[in-house]
Amino acid sequence: MTPNAPNGDHSGNEPAGNEPAGNEPGGIVDPDVDLHDPAQLVETAAREWDLVAATSVGGVLGSVARYGLAVGVPHGTSAFPWSTLIINVSGCLLIGALMMVLSELTESPHRLIRPFAGVGILGGYTTYSTFALDVRQLLAADRVATVAIYLTATVIGGAVAVWVGWALTGRLGSSWLAGGDAVAAEVAR
């Protein structure tokens, strides 16, 4: 594709098959949109701002929850970072639960649920940047054993928590849905 391509795609990549081009509905939005190029400006169409708003509001809520937990369970720069571990592992549990609900337990979730709850709330709540800073501070304090425990607990704990959130929500959701069907059948009698 040439730099003056009508669809605003300056990457040289042609859309494959029937996939929409970068500025068409459902297409991939280039993060390097030139706001002075009318062909690229269409990528910022008003139809997408509701996603930005939902993600932003969710992010504020998640960040406030994280801040509250960090204040409630403070730690020094050389102490074990319990608050960050609790935040990240509980966030992974909730991510697993959310993904089960959205992918398996609902037929057509509202299009703003995932940006609001997943990217927004849980993205704002979990904090892998603080995790990295905690590791750096622990290493600077020569707490190598603590770093090893923290790294292991965060990575394995997070992976296990996603699986537990997914599995537990699937089991509870299936039971609830089956119970709902039984209740509906009783009401229909």
CA distance 59 to 166: 22
Torsion of CA 70, 72, 76, 77, to 10 degrees: -10
Question: Nearest to residue 82, comparing CAs of 94, 70, 67, 68?
Answer: 70
pLDDT in tens, 79-102: 999 999 999 999 999 999 999 999
CA distance 94 to 88: 10
Distances (CA, A) of 182 to 8, 32, 41, 174, 186: 54, 52, 52, 12, 6
Record the pTM. Answer: 0.70
DSSP 136-168: HHHHHTT-HHHHHHHHHHHHHHHHHHHHHHHHH
pLDDT in tens, 136-164: 999 999 999 999 999 999 999 999 999 99
In this predicted structure, what is the pLDDT of residue 176?
A: 80
SS (H, E, C) 5-18: CCCCCCCCCCCCCC
In this predicted structure, what is the pLDDT of residue 35?
A: 74
Which helix (H) or strand (E) element contains residue 41? helix 38-41
